[in-house]
Structure 1
């Protein structure tokens, strides 16, 4: 359908966003804005496009690079910040210093849907390739931390966490990680933007520190304007649409187990039913 409109299956998805979503005005809802991807392939193309269009400097995989610079960026209540396990804080502020092992579990009834999604979209776009089998992640994930800086800024404008399967090189997640103040929640939430053709998938997650010092991130909102899963679409001429997908929820629990090992459990739900769980084990790398 041409480079501007992309592939038919992507155009159908975009038409769904336009017809079932609403008009979106970035100047009024800046907390939800984020970069879009190319119509042909996502991978890391948008990273270099951002560097070019916004005149940014790229730095990659520097020791101590983290998803955030300081835990204070999350603006947690003082008691929560004090209670949060120091290993979890170290992970988020020095993410590149950690290696990963991951195992995936699909609920049988949803596996064909995951396979079809991967076949039609994910492998072609090189984005959001959720592992379907244990073999996909048998050798772990290759984790890259990329930061884009303006010349006059000490803090990165964009932080990209780029993860691929070590065995196949397939891109699992290529996302821009940050945080945003959500007016409806009156609090700072975690924000992840996954560029897609002519738009992106944006996930807004509530940040909660549990009594045992573990971290829980949840995207379970009830309506547009709250934490959750959003599809954003732009047409290249200044018009934007957004679709809040109420049926999609995810929960990420990050904790230190009894053996003092950092782990995470990432659960994905559709209409309240769990369709996939990712189990992570994180360990310090020898740099």
Structure 2
């Protein structure tokens, strides 16, 4: 179906081409190579093309799929999966076995902007539709994890599809994997959100806290370091820009033994939105 607002999408991509830098996704900036989409509505239809690029397939029949097949893929000089609590590790390795309840709290100054983005962009393209009102997620969200495997059947990435139970609309549709930046000696979590002729990517740095909690963060920095990026492509030429969006996830077990996640998103230094997740194993 043709997008009712194609000029908005074209103008957005033109802006990022003008403000970003040329990148070679096949050589020097291969670390920014990630799934894109070829239509205005994303949903989960990008996964087949992502699997084809790997010469592999999408595995829909894995009942206990995780965002990472093994959290130890993040092991490095500043992180060891063995320092993380078993519950936290189980969530990342068997994400599809967990159910989520979500609460949201927006900065009142930024909520109107967030509502506009979600209403006129996120819901329309079925991607990055951040809930802006508590009742949006009152009935909960459905979560589906689909491994993307190579020709040898080894998981190289995973699609994590989250939809609102009340409407069926996509909230997020992301590609999760472990990836090491050329400028770093530590592997981190890489998340790519496919969009038409582009994507939004986040590189998250892992840290195990003394109590066994896991912190993932995309701090401020320079191009090539952990953080958030926008990539757009036209005519075989790609441009990328680092954007001033910083995230922090804290995955922990509370005093009653319940697995929880605090997610904070900042725009520059201003807190934009806080999300809290209660995670429970599905029956």
CA distance in 1 between partners of 2:227 and 2:52 (Å) = 31
Which aligned pairs between 1:123-162 and structure 2 lie closer than 5 A?
123-150=123-150, 152-162=151-161
Query: Which position in structure 1 is the counterpart of 2:67?
Result: 67
Query: Which position in structure 1 is the counterpart of 2:116?
Result: 116
79 and 52 in structure 1: CA distance in 2 versus 1, 3 angstrom threshold: closer
Query: Which position in structure 2 is the counterpart of 1:243?
Result: 241
Could you list the runs of 4 or more consecutive aligned residues of structure 1 that deviate by over 4 angstroms after TM superposition? 51-55
Query: Which position in structure 1 is the counterpart of 2:20?
Result: 21
Q: State whether structure 2 residue 265 is matched by structure 1 residue 268.
A: yes
CA distance in 2 between partners of 1:136 and 1:24 (Å) = 38
Give the TM-score normalised by structure 2: 0.93
CA distance in 2 between partners of 1:16 and 1:285 (Å) = 43
Listed as ranges, the gaps of 5+ residues in structure 1 are: none
179 and 111 in structure 1: CA distance in 2 versus 1, 3 angstrom threshold: same
Once the two structures are TM-superposed, the CA of residue 185 in structure 1 deviates from its matched residue by: 2.2
Query: Which position in structure 1 is the counterpart of 2:211?
Result: 212
Once the two structures are TM-superposed, the CA of residue 78 in structure 1 deviates from its matched residue by: 8.6
Query: Which position in structure 1 is the counterpart of 2:83?
Result: 83
CA distance in 2 between partners of 1:163 and 1:213 (Å) = 26
Aligned length: 281
CA distance in 2 between partners of 1:195 and 1:57 (Å) = 18
CA distance in 1 between partners of 2:53 and 2:250 (Å) = 36
CA distance in 2 between partners of 1:60 and 1:104 (Å) = 30
CA distance in 1 between partners of 2:212 and 2:52 (Å) = 41
3 and 243 in structure 1: CA distance in 2 versus 1, 3 angstrom threshold: farther
TM-align CA RMSD? 2.0
Question: Structure 2 residue aligned with 1:256, among 253, 256, 268?
Answer: 253
79 and 278 in structure 1: CA distance in 2 versus 1, 3 angstrom threshold: closer
Q: State whether structure 2 residue 239 is matched by structure 1 residue 280.
A: no
What CA deviation, in whole Å up to 9, does each residue of 1:75-97 have, x standing for no partner? 24597433211110111111111
- Specify the SS of the correspondent of 1:108: coil
CA distance in 2 between partners of 1:101 and 1:186 (Å) = 35
Once the two structures are TM-superposed, the CA of residue 156 in structure 1 deviates from its matched residue by: 2.1
CA distance in 2 between partners of 1:78 and 1:266 (Å) = 22
Listed as ranges, the gaps of 5+ residues in structure 2 are: none
Once the two structures are TM-superposed, the CA of residue 221 in structure 1 deviates from its matched residue by: 3.0
Query: Would you say the 8 A contact 2:72–2:80 is kept in 1?
Result: no
CA distance in 2 between partners of 1:55 and 1:81 (Å) = 29
224 and 47 in structure 1: CA distance in 2 versus 1, 3 angstrom threshold: same
